[in-house]
Amino acid sequence: MYVYMNGQFIEKDKVAISPFDHGFLYGLGVFETFRIYNGHPFLLEDHLERLNSSLDILNIEAAFTREQTTENLNLLLAKNDLRDAYIRFNVSAGNGEIGLQTERYNNPNIIVFAKSLPPAGGMSEKKAVLMDLPRNTPEGSERLKSHHYLNNVLAKREVGPAMNREGIFLTRDGVLSEGIVSNVFWYKDGTLFTPSVETGILNGITRRFVIALARNAGIEVREGFYKKEEAESADELFLTNSIQEIVPVTEFEGKSFPGKSGELVNLLFGQYAAYRETLWSRTQLDGGAHT
């Protein structure tokens, strides 16, 4: 497998970074994960928008355009003979002296990994379990998709390795927040609910896209602060992330849910699948002039 690093395509076993990279020393780095569907990087503009914003917050001198990123992705896919892939686009602060730095980082390390995925198919299902470990609070004013992942790692250890289980965090105040690697939605009496970004969750790209899909379909969407009992009483419950897409839940806190036979998840998933190979941004759903 070849990896893109700082303008070059390198065999994965030959990729190296310095131990003085502040992404390693202090967790100063961010990443995006997204899918390539038949050569198309789905919602790439939305991912780059979030990535660029996060880099600015971290004082890292880097910004990425759709045009240049697409060119590099196409070359990386060709080097690895891929048409459908998982992409991790990673930017770390770069080298510095030992000690906390206040100056801007001008030479970040940019590494893009591609991993083969099968062509997209239907929905998978999961069981959701409430965790004892609370969700940590964001380090700043909002949660970034950063290298600081210990809360998620400890949560995964609590839940265990099974791929058909997802752990759901509560905040320290007992409010529903998000999954270990997902955002959470539930549907009740014609309304779609999801925790507010103000609970400290990551504002997922797929989360935002699904909200846009639902509203375009005439479904009311409410974002707020909710207790677990509100999700337990739902008609449908599902998870979202950029690799697994929309994942219906079959069981949560001892209650059964319809899973992939649910009416709403089938509606949303059908629309999601129709856009996989064409959309660059969720704004196109509102008539944006992206081509």
Distance CA 36, CA 193 (A): 28
CA dihedral 103, 109, 115, 120 (to 10 degrees): 40
Side chain identity, residue 105: Y
**pLDDT values of the chain reduced to their tens digit, one per residue, 291 residues:** 999 999 999 999 999 999 999 999 999 999 999 999 999 999 999 999 999 999 999 999 999 999 999 999 999 999 999 999 999 999 999 999 999 999 999 999 999 999 999 999 999 999 999 999 999 999 999 999 999 999 999 999 999 999 999 999 999 999 999 999 999 999 999 999 999 999 999 999 999 999 999 999 999 999 999 999 999 999 999 999 999 999 999 999 999 999 999 999 999 999 999 999 999 999 998 654 443
pLDDT for res 288: 47
Distance CA 112, CA 75 (A): 11
Burial of 98 (0-12, 13-18, 19+ CB in 10 A): exposed
Q: What tokens were used for 7?
A: 């303008």
Q: Name beta bridge partners: 33.
A: 88
**Residue ranges per domain, the chain?**
2-116, 126-275
> Do 5 and 241 contact (CB within 8 A), yes or no?
no
What is the DSSP code (8-state) at residue 183?
E
What is the DSSP code (8-state) at residue 146?
B
DSSP conformation letters of 11-43: EGGG----TTBHHHHH--EEEEEEEEETTEETT
Residue 176 has a CB neighbour count (10 Å cut-off) of 26
pLDDT for res 289: 43
Helix-then-strand count for the chain, H and E: 7, 15
pLDDT for res 287: 53
pTM of the shown model: 0.95
Three-state SS string over 53-79 comes to HHHHHCCECCCCCHHHHHHHHHHHHHH
- Which of 3.40.50.970, 3.30.470.10, 3.90.1150.10, 1.10.1060.10 is the CATH number of 2-116? 3.30.470.10
Quote the strand ranges of 189-235, DSSP E.
Answer: 191-195, 220-224
Distance CA 238, CA 213 (A): 15
Pick from 284, 290, 123: which is nearest to 216 by CA?
284
CATH number of 126-275: 3.20.10.10
